[in-house]
Homo-oligomer: A and B are copies of this chain.
């Protein structure tokens, strides 16, 4: 009878013979083996392993030689159990359908893994599904000693659980974002400067009728871009109407929808600025479907500079974000925090515009007052 309905942890129903004759690691060489082979105590071997300076040069090399001869490899479960650290970091992805397949997150993760490995850390992958958070598994990760720290990707201000990460007990760092919901460490791209470059460029090309395909307002980077958009257009003497802006949800479909909405109210739009490449690509796809020519009829510009963006038709003008560097630096700072760093982390990495084929001079270099559509 199997009354055990509840998901029991690493369990196997015991008491039953003739079962689970699974993978059985043959007993490996351990500290004691090395100690006796080298005629020293286990304490000595351990200290050699950790390069403790109190061990003499002679003993050190002798023990090390024995370790090599026996092919000794420390059991890291035992190491972590008795030491303070696991040397594992978790990467949290947001609860989005294709989060893993999203090149934006991929580039971040790439930077993270590279740096983490170089520093002797392993990376554990987690997706922050609602159930996961509700069961407080994000803290369990620490409490049960899975990880030393967490890198948070794709966060925003509605993520209440961000408040749970107390810096000294549950070290966490926000990657490429700065949610106001909690006062956490962060490392991110300079979206403001990127947006400034985009708008300077578009305005210089003669564009005034510029639509903004943005992300949700709860995402700090989306707000930043929007703020720059509004101030720059105002500065150029353009009155901003709400219908010139639409939420594209950071997806291709969303980008296309947002583009359609804006065009519906403003058929004379001459350029679109999108909050990321996926939305820009979605918009371009729609425009192509509608028979509009990018960039002759309409210019489109994105954010991210995914590898991919150079290969759509036409190739996409976009703001290059140093995502792998962000990932690497985030990893560095998180590890510092784990080892006792006190000062908060607030890093901003610079961005630059990459001009390709999706942008061109505005048809007729417009001037001055634009009459509001409707």
Contact = CB atoms under 8 A, between A and B. Distances in A.
Interface stretch (A103-111, A193-201, A216-224, A239-247): A103-111
Given A51-B4, A51-B8, A52-B14, A145 B306 contact: no
A153 to B, nearest CB: 12
Contacts of A285: 311-313, 315
Interface string A72-85: 01111111110111
Given A25-B84, A285-B315, A307-B101, A7 B120 contact: yes
Q: Chain A interface residue count: which class?
A: 35 or more
A281 to B, nearest CB: 5
A144 B73 contact: yes
**Copies of this polypeptide in the complex:** 2
A322 to B, nearest CB: 14
A77 B85 contact: no
Nearest to A123: B125
A143 B71 CA distance: 10
Nearest to A340: B22
A169 to B, nearest CB: 7
Given A22-B340, A110-B100, A127-B113, A143 B50 contact: no
A288 interface: yes
A53 interface: yes
A50 B11 contact: yes
Q: Does more than half of chain A's interface fall in helix, strand or loop, or is it mixed?
A: loop
Nearest to A87: B10
A98 B88 CA distance: 23
Interface string A120-133: 10111111000010
Given A80-B77, A81-B81, A168-B23, A113 B100 contact: yes
Contact of A86 (B73, B77, B81, B132): B77
A288 B284 CA distance: 15
Interface in A119-171: 120, 122-127, 132, 140, 142-146, 148-149, 168-169, 171
